[in-house]
A and B are shown apart, each in its own frame.
Chain A
Amino acid sequence: MKLVLAIAAALAFAALPFLSGSNYIVGVGTSALIFTVAAAALNLIYGFTGLLSFAQLGFWGIGGYATALTVVTFGGNFWTGVLAAAAINAVVALVVGYPMLRTSRHAFVISTLTFALLVSLIARDWVDLTRGPLGIPDLPPPRAFGHVFSSTHQFYGIAWAFSVAMLAFLYVLCSSRIGRTLVAIKQNEPLVRAQGISPMPYKLAAFSISAAITGAAGGVFVFHLGIVDPLILDFYYMQTFLIIVIIGGTGSFWGVVVSGVALSALPEALRFSDDFRMIIYGVILVVAMFAMPSGVAGWLRERELARLRASLR
């Protein structure tokens, strides 16, 4: 039933460029799709595995730069760029993830944050490679088989195909035995060890997969923007991903997907002032943590459980 709904929703999203001629609306739709993928990747590592990772922001930026540089500096194309972004992020995540995951969960959070900051410093200061604060403007539109995806409407198709593929992959992963093992690690790590499962490879794999997907999403996103500069590592993106995951419900796959689409429209609706928008984001974060710590999905689940209990009495 859920799957039917999901497919119907995916098809409805595919129809958006045909329904609206407005570049603005289709552009917001493109952002919404990409943000949802990045939030779903954060959900894999935070919601399912229970590891709050700020490194997602770093991977998002690395992905953006890797894709842009593949095209502009190394003579590749958009498609190999996105693949390179995913591959580089997967490797970087394995390398930095191993020492970070060995620490306590407190130190993990802070070290991932530090990693994200390090990436933004590199983006700003390694001018020979990244061109520093000026960034790389005028990214060429992707092309395939002689077709150029130059307009916003055409690019939407790429974003749609990308996000459907990534969300399908994440859904399969999260609902598989691996996904259940990740939830078990979150809920009771000693018990998982007692069952003869070593948590480390699972955590590392989740971190790396989530990094690869976030990186690829970042790569698609910078080509949507048409420019990559150190602002891609603005903390604003991390806050957006976090709010999507928290409002949707940590550990709920569909909750996060729905809130991703819904909340990506929110920054557009609230565009009257940047400061006001951030204040509202902050207030939403604080209020949500107190009022609905497990998100809308968690709240619905609790209500259902309460009803079941009541019916058994």
Chain B
Amino acid sequence: MTIDAVYLLQLTLNGITLGLLYALIAVGLSLIFGVMEIINFAHGELLMLGAFAMAFALPVTGLLYWPAMAAAVLCTMVAGFVVYETLLVRLKTDEFERSILITLGLSIVLIHVMQYFFTATPRIIDTQYGFDGVDIGSIRITWTRVIGAVAALVAFAGLYLILRFTQFGRAMRAIAQNREAALMVGIRPRVVARNAVVLAAGLCGLAGAAIAPIQLVTPYMGQFLIFKAFALVIIGGLGNIPGAVIAAIALGLIENWIGGFFTIAWQDASVFVIMIVVLFLRPDGLFKRGGMRVG
């Protein structure tokens, strides 16, 4: 098989954009796990809500991309707040299995309520950028992908700055590193956990809004993405944010390369195979859980 350099570059660029969007989801999961030691099974449904919010906001804003995206992020942050205050707040620490089952129930309800009201018919989302793209030599990438990747990068930079330099973010890291010590210096776990969930939901909504114009929007769209994100979080080491980002970008690339050169069946399966191999070699994931370090 001869490898065409242009084709390879095209796959690589697509892989990076996809990987950045995966990373947005995985980082949210990692953040929640770091602070609360739970896994949010309904995280994919937050993404789906973000995508639907984008789909409904676009016609209102006259197909303007950025206001619609802001509306979607705001909408999922509110959803995250509600989920935390009604369900997750009742969980005690060390109730991992219970957290999974509760959020699993929530995810079933959200998927089917959305399907009941908006049907399972896939929607194509049109934005002000349409399907225009930017041409680099003979390579073509649509604007929606470029903007999605840029938005993800900006979000990561923002997250890094928040976690590193603000009191808000330092409290999250403190809880993740040592719960008792954080309590002793007067950090309230409840408030910090709520902030973490809302922040993670916002990242997820951003991912949903960015994915909406790239893929089809259906009530089920979150489910498959979240399963991949779970695998990524495991590969990167549970609760390790940089690990999740690296694993996500690597997966985006690997998936696109495999999809480009082999049958499409291997594309979806690759992440799960990689995860089982990684667990076999390194049971704690590739990067050890360092109590949610950011730098």
Residues of A within 8 A of B (CB): 46, 50, 52, 96, 99-100, 102-107, 109-111, 113-115, 117-118, 121-122, 124-126, 239, 242, 246, 275-276, 278-279, 281-286, 289-290, 293
Interchain CB contact under 8 A, B227 and A114: yes
* CB of B280 closer than 8 Å to a CB of A: yes
Taking residues whose C-beta sits less than 8 angstroms from the other chain, chain B's interface range is 35 or more
Residues of B within 8 A of A (CB): 33, 37, 39, 87, 90, 96-98, 100-102, 104-109, 111-113, 115-116, 227, 230-231, 233-234, 238, 263-265, 268-269, 272-273, 275-276, 279-280, 283-285
Q: Which residues of A contact B107 (CB under 8 A)?
A: 282
Q: Which residues of A contact B102 (CB under 8 A)?
A: 285-286, 289-290
Interchain CB contact under 8 A, B230 and A282: no
B278 — nearest CB in chain A belongs to which residue?
A: A99
Interchain CB contact under 8 A, B231 and A110: yes
B102 — nearest CB in chain A belongs to which residue?
A: A289
Interchain CB contact under 8 A, B280 and A99: yes
Cα A144 to Cα B29 with chains together (Å): 52
Interchain CB contact under 8 A, B112 and A278: yes
Cα A100 to Cα B280 with chains together (Å): 8
Q: Which residues of B contact A124 (CB under 8 A)?
A: 265
Q: Which residues of A contact B269 (CB under 8 A)?
A: 118, 121-122, 125
Interchain CB contact under 8 A, A111 and B105: no
Cα A187 to Cα B223 with chains together (Å): 32
Interchain CB contact under 8 A, B116 and A276: yes
Interchain CB contact under 8 A, B116 and A285: no
Interchain CB contact under 8 A, B108 and A278: yes
Cα A275 to Cα B110 with chains together (Å): 11
Cα A117 to Cα B264 with chains together (Å): 16
Interchain CB contact under 8 A, B116 and A279: yes
Q: Which residues of B contact A104 (CB under 8 A)?
A: 238, 283-284
Nearest CB in chain B: distance from A202 CB, A: 18
Interchain CB contact under 8 A, B112 and A113: no
Interchain CB contact under 8 A, B279 and A107: yes
A279 — nearest CB in chain B belongs to which residue?
A: B112
